Amino acid sequence: MPQALSSFRQHPPSLPQVHNVIVHRSAFGELSDIGTASLITVNPWAVVLSLRRTLVSLTLNLMAAVRATRAALPLMLAAGNGAIVNVVSVNAFLPDPAVMDYSAAKAALANFSKSLSKEVGPQGIRVNTVSPGPVATDLWLGTDGVAATAARASGVPPEEVADSAVRSTATGRFTQPNEVADLVLLLVSQRAKNVTGTNITIDGGLTTTL
């Protein structure tokens, strides 16, 4: 058995720990007093110079998923089946200096997921990722979201910032949260039982490369 799988079985974290991670991950900002909006900057060098901010971003966008996976894997290995879907981002392959730490964390999560799919596939466990573009959530459209933060820095109305974010997409709109959820549900269902190690982009055609 690969060493990583042996480690998962010998030292599994408690399930209450992963419950906390999942709640914090979905709350966007509960992990520290920094919050999500402060992870957005118009000065890319602020990311490089702020170690604390970078560590918070890596914890929220990479390690939360790694810890949740580490907690769930022993149960899946014992059952001989399972499906993991990690939500990545188009920034994993479209790096943006304005969210340098976020882009790096999501790229690492994509790599982690792909590598894990190769390791646990023979044990009946599938691992896939979903990469959304701009999604109509508070992260983008809230009072302290990306659009509002960029608007305060540039003097442009938040609505114009939001419009510019999706102007170059084929559909010309934000992805809705339920559309991302539907895709995740498809990947964990039996309809996708031979799909693993795959990333599916849902960005309204924002990504133009093959």
- What does the alpha-carbon distance between residue 206 and residue 202 come to, in Å, rounded to a whole number? 9
- What does the alpha-carbon distance between residue 188 and residue 191 come to, in Å, rounded to a whole number? 8
Element (DSSP H or E) covering residue 151 = helix 146-154
Q: Which residues pair with 127 in a beta bridge?
A: 84
Catalytic residue among 8, 102, 140, 174: 102
- What does the alpha-carbon distance between residue 42 and residue 99 come to, in Å, rounded to a whole number? 9
Phi, psi of 129 (to 5 degrees): -130, 155
What are the strands, taking DSSP E only, across the chain? 82-87, 125-132, 199-202
DSSP secondary structure of 16-47: HHHHHHHHHHHHSSTTSSS-SGGG--S-HHHH
**Contacts with 61 (C-beta within 8 Å, 6 or more apart), sequence order:** 102, 105, 106, 109
- Is position 157 annotated as part of the catalytic site? no
* 3-state class (DSSP) for residue 123: helix
* Structure token pair of residue 42: 């118009």
Catalytic residues: 102
